[in-house]
Amino acid sequence: MSLSTQIKNMISTPSDSQLLSIRIPTTTVNQLEELAQVLNKTRSELISTFIDGGLEELEQQLLDIRNEKSLENSIKIESNSRYFLLNTNYNNSHHDHYTMLENEEASAFYGNWKENITYLKEGDVVFLYQSGNGIVGYGYSDGKLIKRDHNGNSNEWYSRKLNNFVRLNKPLTAKACKDTTKSNFNFRMTMVSLSKEQGDALLSKLNNL
């Protein structure tokens, strides 16, 4: 059975697992924590599947799943919630990630992904999340939508300036986000709306770092 088939089976069907202790790099642990929350699996189950390089394959399959969902299903905005978690697209473009931090802005690119930025309103709190590391910065959305060209493609880069931007010296990891809010997140979506309770908890935690 191919590794790809094993991963598909893990996503769609429950499986037995055994306790496994192994020392792996911190970045890999953070990636496993993210995916464990998305798939409702244990880290041990993921390790057994990813040990021969399945992590990259699963990233692609999750991207395919995300592409099939409509924008309305991707962002579930609650009437009282004005907190958002925005994935910086680090896995696909390191340059876009660092540009976002240097410009102190929330950005997304192409198709429905860029339309996420249009949902932001002035004063919304946006947490910038780097896959494999955690929340790396946050600020308050500006009311002006900025459209730019991206790699020669006209108006495929949407962004909003993040006022009072804070760039963290140490990212708040996926596990720390879960522990702080006592809830799970779908870190792999381009942007997700957080409840007021989640947002308040994260903001309080970050302000006290």
Nearest alpha-carbon partner for 191 in 140, 132, 118 = 118
pTM over 0.75: no
Tokens of 138: 């946050």
Given 53, 68, 83, the domain boundary residue is 68
Whether residues 181 and 124 share a domain: the answer is yes
User: How much is the pLDDT for 11?
Assistant: 66
pLDDT reported for residue 153? 95
- pLDDT on residue 96: 96
Q: Are residues 17 and 40 in the same domain?
A: yes
Q: Please give the pLDDT value at position 135.
A: 97
The SS3 call for residue 69 is: coil
DSSP H helices, the chain, are: 3-12, 26-39, 43-50, 54-68, 71-74, 94-103, 111-115, 174-181, 196-207
Residues 178 and 104 in one domain: yes
Q: What is the pLDDT of residue 51?
A: 66
Based on the fold, state whether residues 10 and 98 are members of the same structural domain.
Answer: no
Give the DSSP letter string of 119-151.
G--TT-EEEEEETTTEEEEEEEE-S--EEEEET
Residues of the chain with pLDDT under 70: 1-22, 50-60, 62-81
Domain ranges, residue 191: 71-207
Total domains present in the chain:
2
